[in-house]
C-alpha cells in the first residue's frame, strides 16, 4: 500500500466529484478519491494535471488509511439514502475528530439529522452547497459550508484555494450552524428559478410581442450584460440566441420544447417558505410556471378552445425601442425583488431555525462561481456590511433608490403583459410583493373580520391591545 498521506478524500468520482478533486490537486493538495468503478478511478488519475498528486482507489479502507488526520472526506453521491449508506460505511474506519462533508444536493433537514447523529460520536460534519456546475467544480465554484465551525477552519485552506475569486476574495465562507450550508444553497436555487423565469417572460414580450428575431435578441441581451444587468444568466441567454441548430434548420432555441424540467430545489424553497410564513411569490410563481409547462397537451387544447394568442403580427412592433428600455428596467427591478425575497427567507431561517447565518457571507460567496452571480450582489454585500441585521433589503436606502428609479417600468410592462394576454406571472408577482411590502395598511382587516365571523378566530384592533371577538349581525 502507498505510504503517501493525502490531504483530502472524495467518495464518488462522478463528474462533479472528479472535477472538484482535480481542482483540489491543482492547488497543491494531495488528493485521493474512491469509487467502486475502476474506470472512474482510472480516468480520474488520467485527467490529473501533470505534477499534481492524485490517486484513485476502489475500497474505502484504502482511502481512509491514506488520509492525514483529521481526515477530510467529502461525499458526492446521489442525495438521500446513498449518503447515509456511505456515512455508515465510513464510521468503523474513521476516528473522533475526523470530518465528513456532504457536498451533494441535499434537503436541509437530512443534513441537520446527520449533523445531530454524528456529533455525539465525535465526528465533525459539514454540509456544503456547491454551485457552478461541472465547469465551476473544475475551475472555481461558489461554496456554502455550514455545520461544525471547527471543521470549517480545518477545511478553510483547501476550500478557499479552490473557490472562485472576486477581487481576490474566495467565494466560500461559513454559512452558519447545523444545516445552514444546504439551506443557503436551496434558497440560492430558488432565486435562480425566479430569475430564469423573469428572463423567459421578458424574452416572450420582446420576441412574440416586439417581433424581435434571435440576432436582435442576442444583441440586446449582450448589451444588457455590459450594464446594470451584468450577470451569468444574462450572459448565457445572449449566447443561446446565436446558437444554430445542429440537427435542424435555423436557431436551436426555436426547436426546443417548452416543457421545463426541475430537480426539485425550487419546490423545496417554496414549501419551506410556506412553513416559515415567509413571502416569496416570485419564486413560487417560477415553480408554478414549470409545473404548468409540463401540461403541454392540455395547453394546446386550451389554446384551441380559447383562441390562439400566437399573433400574426407582433402587437408592440411599432414601439419596440421603448419596449426594450422598459423590459430592461422591469427585469432589473424584478431581479432585485427576487434576491430580496430570498434574503428575507434566509434572515428568518437565521432567527427561527437558529442557524445564525451571516447574511453578508451568503451574498459574498454568490458574487462569483455560481449560477446567480451578478453585479447586483456587490450592492447587496455593501448593504449587509452597513447593517448586518437588515431584515429586508428593501429597507436599505441604496436599494430603495434603485427600485424607485425603475418600478414604473415594471408596472408598465406587467400591465402590458396582462392587457395583451402574455403569461408574465414572475413580473406580476414581483410587483405585487413590492406593492404589498411597501403598503402601510393592507385590506386584510376585512379578512380578519371574515375569519372571526365564520370561525370566531378573533382579531386585533388598531386602537386597543389584545384579542377581540364579535357576535356578528
Query: Where is the domain boundary, 143, 174, 205?
Result: 174
Report yes or no on 306 lying in a domain. yes
Catalytic residue among 30, 40, 177, 185: 185
Mean pLDDT computed over every residue of the chain: 95
Asked whether the beta carbons of 182 and 353 are under 8 A apart, the reply is no
192 is catalytic: yes
Question: Are 20 and 80 in a shared domain?
Answer: yes
Whether 278 maps to a domain, the answer reads: yes
Instruction: Give the three-state DSSP class for 130.
Output: strand
* 48 lies in some domain: yes
Same domain, 423 and 461: no
Q: How much is the pLDDT for 1? A: 44
- Same structural domain, 452 and 433: no
In this structure, what CATH number is given to the domain that contains residue 45?
3.40.50.720
What pLDDT, on a 0 to 100 scale, did the predictor assign at position 310?
A: 63
Helices (H), 205-319: 214-224, 232-240, 265-276, 281-293, 296-306
Per residue in 353-366, pLDDT (tens digit) is: 999 999 999 999 99
Give a yes or no: residue 250 inside a domain.
yes
Residues in the chain: 473
Going 286 to 288 to 291 to 295, the CA torsion angle's sign is: negative
Cis? peptide before 227, omega within 30° of 0:
no
Q: What percent of the chain has pLDDT over 70?
A: 98
Same domain, 419 and 285: yes
For residues 126 and 224, membership in a common domain is answered with no
Please state, in angstroms and rounded to a whole number, the distance separating the CA atoms of residues 250 and 199: 22
| Claim to verify: residue 114 and residue 232 sit in the same structural domain | no
- Do 95 and 209 fall into the same domain? no
Q: Is 132 in the same domain as 164? A: yes
Binding residues: 105, 131-133, 188-189, 193, 263, 290, 451, 457
> How many Cα atoms sit within 13 Å of 406 on the Cβ side?
23
CA distances from 201 to 197, 243, 250, 462 (A): 6, 20, 22, 40
* Contacts (Cβ under 8 Å, ≥6 apart) of 159: 128, 143, 145, 170, 172
Q: Tell me, yes or no, whether 328 and 269 share the same domain.
A: yes
Range of the domain at 44: 8-174
Q: Structure pTM?
A: 0.94
Structural contact between residues 101 and 75, judged by C-beta atoms closer than 8 angstroms: yes
* Cα radius of gyration rounded to whole Å, the chain: 25
432 vs 263: which has the higher pLDDT: 432
pLDDT in tens, 60-112: 999 999 999 999 999 999 999 999 999 999 999 999 999 999 999 999 999 99
CB 77 within 8 A of CB 83: yes
Q: Is residue 63 part of a domain?
A: yes
- CA distances, 136 to each of 19, 22, 103, 130, 246 (Å): 9, 12, 14, 9, 26
Residue 141 lies in a domain: yes
CATH number for position 198: 1.10.1040.10
Last residue of a domain, one of 139, 174, 209: 174
The residue from 174, 205, 235 where one domain ends is 174
The binding site for substrate consists of 105, 131-133, 188-189, 193, 263, 290, 451, 457
pLDDT at position 266 is 84
Task: Choose the weakest-confidence range: 28-32, 259-263, 283-287, 443-447.
Answer: 259-263
pLDDT band (50, 70, 90) for residue 3? low
* 222 and 98 within one domain: no
- The residue with cell 386602537 is 463
Please say whether the beta carbons of 262 and 290 come within 8 A.
Answer: yes
Asked if residue 70 belongs to a domain, the reply is: yes
Q: What is the C-alpha to C-alpha distance for residues 78 and 105, in angstroms, rounded to an integer? A: 8
What pLDDT sits at residue 261? 77
Task: Return the pLDDT at 366.
Answer: 97
- Residue 385 among the catalytic residues: no
Q: Report DSSP state, residue 205.
A: I
Catalytic residue among 192, 201, 267, 329: 192
Question: pLDDT at position 315, please?
Answer: 85
Domain total in the chain? 3
Secondary structure class of 129 (helix, strand, coil): strand
Would you list the DSSP string of 8-76? Answer: EEEE--SHHHHHHHHHHHHTT--EEEE-S-HHHHHHHHHHSPTT--EEEESSHHHHHHTBPSSPEEEE-
CATH code of 461's domain: 1.20.5.320
Same domain? For 200 and 89 the reply is: no
CA angle 317, 404, 288 (to 5 degrees): 65
Q: Could you tell me the end-to-end alpha-carbon distance of the chain, in angstroms, rounded to an integer?
A: 86
pLDDT of residue 95: 95
Examine residue 180 and state whether it is found in any structural domain, yes or no: no
Shared domain check, 94 and 195? no
Amino acid at each position: 500500500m502507498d505510504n503517501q498521506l493525502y490531504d483530502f478524500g472524495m467518495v464518488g468520482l462522478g463528474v462533479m466529484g472528479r472535477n472538484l478533486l482535480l481542482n483540489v490537486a491543482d492547488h497543491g493538495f494531495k488528493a485521493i478519491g474512491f469509487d467502486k468503478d475502476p474506470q472512474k478511478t482510472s480516468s480520474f488519475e488520467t485527467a490529473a494535471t501533470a505534477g499534481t498528486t492524485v490517486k484513485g482507489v476502489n475500497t474505502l479502507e484504502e482511502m481512509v488509511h491514506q488520509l492525514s488526520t483529521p481526515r477530510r472526506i467529502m461525499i458526492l453521491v446521489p442525495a438521500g439514502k446513498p449518503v447515509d449508506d456511505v456515512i455508515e460505511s465510513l464510521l468503523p474506519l474513521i476516528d473522533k475528530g475526523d470530518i465528513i462533508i456532504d457536498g451533494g444536493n441535499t434537503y436541509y433537514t437530512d443534513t441537520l439529522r446527520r449533523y445531530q447523529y454524528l456529533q455525539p460520536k465525535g465526528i465533525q460534519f459539514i454540509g456544503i452547497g456547491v454551485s457552478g456546475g461541472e465547469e465551476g467544480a473544475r475551475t472555481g465554484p461558489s461554496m456554502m459550508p455550514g455545520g461544525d465551525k471547527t471543521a470549517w477552519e480545518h477545511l478553510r485552506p483547501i476550500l478557499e484555494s479552490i473557490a472562485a475569486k472576486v477581487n481576490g476574495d474566495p467565494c466560500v465562507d461559513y454559512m452558519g450552524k447545523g444545516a445552514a450550508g444546504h439551506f443557503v444553497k436551496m434558497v440560492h436555487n430558488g432565486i435562480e428559478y425566479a430569475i430564469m423565469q423573469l428572463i423567459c417572460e421578458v424574452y416572450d414580450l420582446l420576441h412574440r410581442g416586439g417581433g424581435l428575431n434571435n440576432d436582435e435578441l442576442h444583441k440586446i441581451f449582450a448589451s444588457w450584460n455590459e450594464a446594470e444587468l451584468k450577470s451569468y444568466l444574462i450572459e448565457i441567454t445572449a449566447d443561446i440566441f446565436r446558437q444554430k441548430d445542429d440537427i435542424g434548420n435555423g436557431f436551436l432555441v426555436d426547436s426546443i420544447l417548452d416543457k421545463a424540467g426541475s430537480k426539485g430545489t425550487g419546490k423545496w424553497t417554496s414549501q419551506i417558505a410556506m412553513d416559515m410564513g415567509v413571502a416569496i411569490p416570485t419564486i413560487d410563481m417560477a415553480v408554478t410556471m414549470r409545473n404548468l409547462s409540463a401540461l403541454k397537451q392540455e395547453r394546446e387544447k386550451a389554446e384551441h378552445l380559447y383562441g390562439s394568442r400566437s399573433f400574426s403580427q407582433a402587437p408592440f412592433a411599432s414601439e419596440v425601442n421603448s419596449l426594450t428600455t422598459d423590459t430592461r428596467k422591469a427585469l432589473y427591478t424584478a431581479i432585485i425583488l427576487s434576491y430580496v425575497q430570498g434574503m428575507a427567507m434566509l434572515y428568518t431561517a437565521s432567527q427561527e431555525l437558529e442557524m445564525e447565518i451571516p447574511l453578508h457571507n451568503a451574498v459574498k460567496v454568490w458574487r462569483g462561481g455560481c449560477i446567480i452571480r451578478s453585479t447586483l450582489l456587490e450592492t447587496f454585500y455593501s448593504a449587509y456590511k452597513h447593517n448586518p441585521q437588515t431584515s429586508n433589503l428593501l429597507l436599505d436606502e441604496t436599494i430603495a433608490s434603485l427600485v424607485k428609479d425603475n418600478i414604473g417600468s415594471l408596472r408598465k410592462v406587467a400591465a402590458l403583459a396582462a392587457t395583451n394576454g402574455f403569461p408574465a406571472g414572475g413580473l406580476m408577482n414581483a410587483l405585487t410583493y413590492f406593492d404589498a411590502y411597501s403598503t402601510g395598511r393592507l385590506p386584510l382587516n376585512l379578512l380578519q373580520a371574515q375569519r372571526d365571523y365564520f370561525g370566531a378566530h378573533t382579531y386585533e384592533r388598531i386602537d386597543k391591545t389584545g384579542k377581540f371577538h364579535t357576535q356578528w349581525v
